[in-house]
Amino acid sequence: MSQRGFVVTSLGKLVDEPWYYFERAAAILRARALFRGATLGPRVGAKGRVDATLEGVCRLGARVTFRGGMIPTQLRVHRGGTLTVGEDAVVNYGVLIEVHDRVEIGARAMIASMSRICDRDGTRTGPVVIEDDVWIAHGALIQPGVHIGAGAVVSAGSVVTDDVPSRFMASGNPARMAPLALVRPSATCSNTVKPRN
């Protein structure tokens, strides 16, 4: 919808039409240059600094967005590795995704700044699967071999060493699980969890 030179984005934000489209076009062109050799869906965008080393297979779905920030995002897909990111996923600044074997990130997943996802470290190896609609908060570490179910939430600074079921919240180091239905909103917004009455 356009009124007097403005456009309403999918998030309901009213933006100046020419500037919005210029930024979006620049992000799409930047992604095409950064991810040479990768399979890109339509309108994949890179708005910030991204250091990409793509020696393996990389597939980015439609409208995947890499956001900008003060620290670059790093994508390392080593020879023999496969990275798949589903449509409408958002990767914030300072994220490290390192792939030796296989990492799958589902549609509409949100990966917050300074998070780390890798399928191999000094002691463990195994594919990482992050299903659709997962939110990984700031500074979370996803260990090799972990499967995170659809609609799950990983809280800030958590270290996920085991699988997270769908619609569960993982929190802590090492992360412990709780069904999202039992988590009060205040628990996700502060460092203190209020006891249930």
* Secondary structure of residue 166 in the 3-state scheme: coil
Q: Please check the confidence at residue 197 and state whether its pLDDT lies above 50.
A: no
Looking at the chain, the whole-number percentage of residues with pLDDT higher than 90 is: 72
pLDDT digits (tens, 9 = 90+) for 125-173: 999 999 999 999 999 999 999 999 999 999 999 999 999 999 999 999 9
Strand partners, 147: 129
pLDDT digits (tens, 9 = 90+) for 35-53: 999 999 999 999 888 999 9
* Secondary structure of residue 161 in the 3-state scheme: coil
Quick check: 65 and 100 in contact, CB under 8 A?
A: no
Q: Please check the confidence at residue 80 and state whether its pLDDT lies above 60.
A: yes
Looking at the chain, the whole-number percentage of residues with pLDDT higher than 70 is: 83
- CATH number for the region 13-174 comes to 2.160.10.10
Q: Is the pTM of this model over 0.75?
A: yes
Confidence of residue 187 (pLDDT cuts 50, 70, 90): very low
C-alpha distance across the termini of the chain, in Å: 47
Q: For residues 154 and 109, what is the distance between their CA atoms, to the nearest angstrom?
A: 11
182: burial class by Cβ within 10 Å (0-12, 13-18, 19+)? Answer: exposed
